[in-house]
Amino acid sequence: LDLRTEDLRNIQELGCGNGGVVNKVLHVPTNTIMARKIIHIDANPNVRKQIVRELQILHDCNSPHIVSFYGAFMTGGDICMCMEYMDLGSFDRLYKKSGPIPMNIVGKTCCAVLDGLIYLYDEHRIIHRDVKPSNILMNSSGLIKICDFGVSGVLINSMASTFVGTSNYMSPERIKGATYSVKSDVWSLGLTLMELAMGRFPFPEDGRPLSVFELMQFIVNEPSPTLPAGQFPPEFEEICHACLLKDPAQRPTPKDLMLHSTFVQNAVTDKVDIEEWAKSLM
Ligand code: ATP
Ligand code: MG
């Protein structure tokens, strides 16, 4: 599929983040609805071309829990990426609109994210690097998929060299500048699970706003956040605790969680109708 700006008709803006803006668009020649992300990078044209080349790996990332990719190209000085449109949007919006996510849906979300992370790492040696509620999407068929993972080394470096390259979901080892691995994604998953279940970012516990710098110090120096006592099932407390072990050597990998977490094992066999829940939100 040869994507060109002229063939994309804007329908509506879906949101914007630090790196760019996402729109719902129609690809007129194929009559396909897509989500188009435009990323503005202050880099020379050769670097941008290199990023677009590296993004082509996304064509090979095919898994039921990964948002599918239509293509990437340059437009003006920006990088344009077209991906599958997920009509219920991201989980940050879902919980902000309708409150904390029910435990059985959190369970299915956890399985989807783990499955996606395992696929990315096993098949492509890709670490996601940006697991958080806004990068977990859902559609009205009840499918849950992850997006915005780090495929392009050059793009990762260009983003990391700017201040916006930091995130509330970064693991302590990554903040400290140590080498990091898939276990860094597990830390981010732990915060994400807590956030979905509680309906708010889990720390600081008193909810007072922290600057990015204070938050990073907090993550590195303070004990990991914990769930409010007695409100959640013990197997959920257990997985959050395991994901948020500060020492990456102690923390499980996505595969460890898939194989050994009781919460995940229960969620895998749970018969909850996600599609029905999804429809109830529309
Ligand atoms: P950050 O820039 O900090 O990573 P973000 O993930 O919210 O934050 P974007 O990735 O630019 O920023 O996405 C903006 C919003 O667009 C998301 O919050 C999400 O709600 C929506 N969005 C992104 N991709 C899609 C998609 N494929 N389908 C539907 N909505 C999407
Ligand atoms: Mg995103």
Could you read off the pLDDT of 216-235 as tens digits, one per residue?
A: 999 999 999 999 999 999 99
Å from CA of 14 to ligand 2 middle: 11
Q: Is the pLDDT of residue 156 over 90?
A: no
Distances (CA, A) of 237 to 75, 96, 241: 46, 22, 6
Residue 43 vs residue 153, higher pLDDT:
153
pLDDT band at 165 (very low <50, low <70, confident <90, very high): low
Ion ligand 2: residue ranges with CB closer than 5 A:
134-135, 148
Read off the pLDDT band of 281 (50, 70, 90). Answer: confident
Q: Whose CA is nearest to atom 15 of ligand 1?
A: 15
CA distance 270 to 282: 23
pLDDT value at residue 164:
61
Q: What's the predicted TM-score (pTM) here?
A: 0.96
Q: Which residues contact 159 (CB under 8 A, 6 or more apart)?
A: 19, 41, 165
pLDDT confidence of 140, banded at 50, 70, 90? very high
Count of alpha carbons within 13 angstroms of residue 163, beta-carbon side: 3
d(CA 60, CA 177): 30
What's the 148 CA to ligand 2 centre distance in angstroms? 5
- Quick count: other Cβ atoms within 10 Å of Cβ 89? 19
Query: Minimum-distance ligand to the CA of 15?
Result: 1
Q: How far is the CA of 36 from the centre of ligand 1 (A)?
A: 10
Give the whole-number percent of the chain exceeding pLDDT 90: 81
Residue with the two structure tokens 């990762």: 156
pLDDT interval class at 186 (50, 70, 90): very high
Residues with CB under 6 A from ligand 1: 14-20, 22, 35, 37, 67, 83-86, 89-90, 93, 130, 134-135, 137, 147-148
pLDDT tens for residues 79-107? 999 999 999 999 999 999 999 999 999 99
Structure tokens at 273: 């109708």
